[in-house]
Amino acid sequence: MTDFFITGTDTEIGKTYVTCALLRDMRRRGIRAMGYKPVACGDRNDPRAMREASDEPSLSLELINPVFLRAATAPLIAAELEGTELSAKKLAEGYRVLRKQYSPILVEGAGGWEAPLAPGESMADLAQELNLPIILVVGNKLGAVNHAVLTVQSIRSRGLTCRSIVLNHAGEEWEAAELTNRRLIEEMTGIPVSAELVHNQGDIDSQAVLGI
């Protein structure tokens, strides 16, 4: 099966929420999917949530998340504070180990698409190293259209494919922007919004998002 790289237009817009929803739905369909969080900063809540969503409580957290950095900041800075070095190639190795046991793998980046990873590298370089189709999570709020269009342009400039967009509405209120973002994002990127999550919605159609 095809694996996917899950990224976002920003940090804290629901990448892990979407990843876990996709994992739960695939597991319900009998697909042995697993999440991979190559680097986590600040805490390990995201990889723990992935493990729970995949219903694999005994799986070593180090397989899902091989690099944990204590500072809640960009991976580049967090690594510098601990005197360690990161690289896209190094983080790709953990993905290949996990892939021997599970399929598909949902690789979730840290922060947004261009979050600094190492000197001269960003999370986008990791996505390029893995050469996986992209699932873009967009926070449904004012400014979402601009962020989505710019991110899709950057994805395409690297020769990668954005498979689909998930629009995540984390708040309870709805304004004009939230009601019209989906139409504008689809028109301006040419990519379908394959799922639109509302506040506290915990389920998702993984087949519609991933095509598998």
Which residue among the candidates 37, 89, 100, 141 is catalytic per the annotation?
37
- The pair of structure tokens assigned to 12 is 């804290």
Distances in Å between the Cα of 207 and the Cα atoms of 28, 103, 166, 211 are 12, 15, 13, 5
What are the start-end ranges of the E strands in the chain? 4-8, 34-36, 39-41, 67-69, 105-108, 116-118, 121-122, 134-139, 162-168, 193-197
Phi and psi at 64, nearest 5°, equal -80, -35
> Letter for the amino acid at 191?
I
**Phi and psi, residue 40, nearest 5°:** -125, 135
- Token representation of residue 137: 């999570």
Give the residue among 139, 145, 194, 143 at the shortest CA–CA distance from 165.
Answer: 194
Token pair recorded at residue 1: 């099966």
Q: Does residue 89 have an active-site annotation?
A: no
Q: Which residues are known to be catalytic? A: 37
